[in-house]
DNA sequence: GCAAAATGTCAAG
DNA sequence: TTGACCTTTTGCA
């Protein structure tokens, strides 16, 4: 389930479970054997996240991980049991085993490589050093629709297909609005809500964007199907107004929106 | 047993 | 713009 909130939550978990420990590293599946050999026996002294990228500092190098669409990390207690499935990387610390499966990227990089990666990533709503004004300046120079721009990781780092649809709905902005027509006030509202929503996502480990009164159950605890206003609800009622949710391709992904709540 | 889908990105044309 | 790639899970024979 990897959007930015997943990665920051993962960073927190890796830090608390394996931080400061000497690791043994291996690639049971074999595709990261040389990288694992480089970090085997070294100490994990820092963990960093930017957008959907995770960085683990082992002495003078970094392990760079990007989960992509399918990647997953699981933790289990020591002693390590035989790996199940295609485990790209296994890290074993004092009492925790980390297994990484299916990432788009898992590589050992230098500090310079890491700087270069940060340089091509945009404002991360979950980082203190985020610069939303700079993101806005760049946004307003573009003719592309806001729905496409929100997925551009060099503008805002960490938003994925679920948050894109839900944040635009919460802001009452049509995904088709051109970036350059978005006002400073609209952007400020969208950014603030993005920070709020992603932080909630880190806390809960889930993407729940609906307000309590829009969820089906009065308990307020969202079921899987209650969690979104429009995402993956094509043809179903918008959870705020009841109009049929529309869907289209935008930036090579399916965008969902409510034509009533989100007028152009 | 096999196809399809899933919260993503990049390189080739 | 399209296709390739990463892996697991689900649903339908």
- Per-residue pLDDT at A199: 97
A157-171, A216-230, A234-248: range with lowest mean pLDDT: A216-230
C-alpha span between A134 and A122 (Å, rounded): 9
Q: What is the pLDDT of residues A121-165, one digit of tens each?
A: 999 999 999 999 999 999 999 999 999 999 999 999 999 999 999
Check for a shared fold between A4-120 and A132-257: no
Between CA A94 and CA A168 the distance in angstroms is 44
Which helix (H) or strand (E) segment is A87 a member of? strand A87-92
Selected catalytic residue, list A115, A180, A223, A253: A253
Residue A99, helix vs strand vs coil: strand
A214 pLDDT band (50/70/90 cuts)? confident
Is A205 within 7 A of strand B by CB distance? no
Give yes or no for residue A71 having a pLDDT over 90: yes
Domain range summary for chain A, segments of one domain joined by +: 4-120, 132-257
Residue nearest to nucleotide B9 (CA to C1'): A68
Q: Dihedral angle at the C-alpha atoms of A157, A203, A206, A29, nearest 10 degrees?
A: 70
Strand C nucleotides where any atom sits below 7 Å of a protein CB: 2-3, 5-8
CB of A12 within 7 Å of some strand C atom: no
Pick the residue with more confidence: A264 or A150? A150
Quote the pLDDT of residue A43.
97
Looking at every residue in chain A, the average pLDDT score rounds to 94
What tokens appear for A148 in the block? 């496409």
Please write the tens of the pLDDT for every residue from A49-59: 999 999 999 99
Report pLDDT for A213.
Answer: 85
Annotated catalytic residue: which of A9, A52, A164, A240? Answer: A52
Instruction: Please report, rounded to a whole number, the percentage of residues in chain A having pLDDT higher than 90.
Output: 92
In this predicted structure, what is the pLDDT of residue A1? 61
Element (H, E) at A247: strand A246-250
Residue A217: predicted pLDDT = 62
pLDDT grade, residue A219 (50/70/90)? low
CA A259 to chain centre: 26
Query: Got the DSSP string for A41-60?
Result: T-BEEEEEEETTEEEEEETT
Å from the A104 CA to the C4 C1'? 12
Q: What is the CATH number of domain A4-120?
A: 3.20.190.10
Preceding amide of A79 cis, omega within 30: yes
Residue A3 annotated to the active site: yes
Spatial distance between the Cα atoms of A176 and A143, rounded to a whole number of angstroms: 10
Q: Is A61 a catalytic residue?
A: no
Q: Is the CATH code 1.10.8.50 the one for domain A132-257?
A: yes
Contact A93, A148 (CB under 8 A): no
Mean pLDDT score, A92-115? 97
pLDDT confidence tier of residue A212, bands split at 50, 70 and 90: confident
What is the per-residue pLDDT across A243-263, written as a single tens digit (0 to 9) for each? 999 999 999 999 999 999 998
**Rounded CA separation A42/A187 (Å):** 44
- pLDDT for position A220: 56
In angstroms, how far is B9 C1' from A2 CA?
13
Paired tokens of A132: 């939303």
């Amino acid at each position: 389930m990897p959007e930015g909130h997943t990665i920051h939550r993962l960073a927190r978990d890796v830090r608390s479970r394996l931080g400061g420990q000497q690791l043994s590293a291996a690639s049971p599946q074999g595709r990261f054997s040389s990288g694992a050999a480089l970090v085997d026996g070294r100490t994990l002294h820092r963990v960093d996240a930017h957008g959907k990228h995770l960085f683990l500092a082992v002495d003078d190098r970094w392990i760079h991980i990007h989960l992509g669409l399918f990647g997953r990390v699981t933790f289990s207690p020591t002693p390590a049991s035989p790996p199940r499935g295609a485990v790209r990387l296994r890290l074993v610390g004092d009492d925790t085993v980390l297994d990484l499966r299916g990432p788009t990227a898992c590589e050992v990089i230098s500090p310079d490589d890491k700087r270069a990666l940060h340089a091509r990533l945009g404002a991360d709503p979950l980082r203190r050093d985020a610069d939303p004004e700079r993101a806005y300046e760049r946004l307003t120079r573009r003719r592309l629709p806001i729905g496409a721009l929100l997925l551009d990781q060099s503008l805002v780092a960490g938003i994925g297909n679920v948050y894109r649809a839900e944040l635009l709905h919460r802001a009452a902005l049509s995904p088709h609005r051109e970036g350059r027509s978005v006002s400073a006030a609209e952007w400020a509202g969208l950014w603030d809500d993005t920070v709020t929503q992603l932080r909630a996502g880190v806390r809960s480990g889930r993407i729940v964007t609906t307000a309590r009164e829009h969820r089906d159950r009065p308990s307020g605890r969202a079921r899987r199907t209650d969690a979104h206003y429009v995402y993956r609800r094509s043809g179903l009622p918008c959870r705020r107004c009841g109009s049929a949710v529309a869907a289209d391709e935008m930036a090579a992904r399916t965008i969902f929106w409510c034509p009533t709540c989100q007028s152009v």
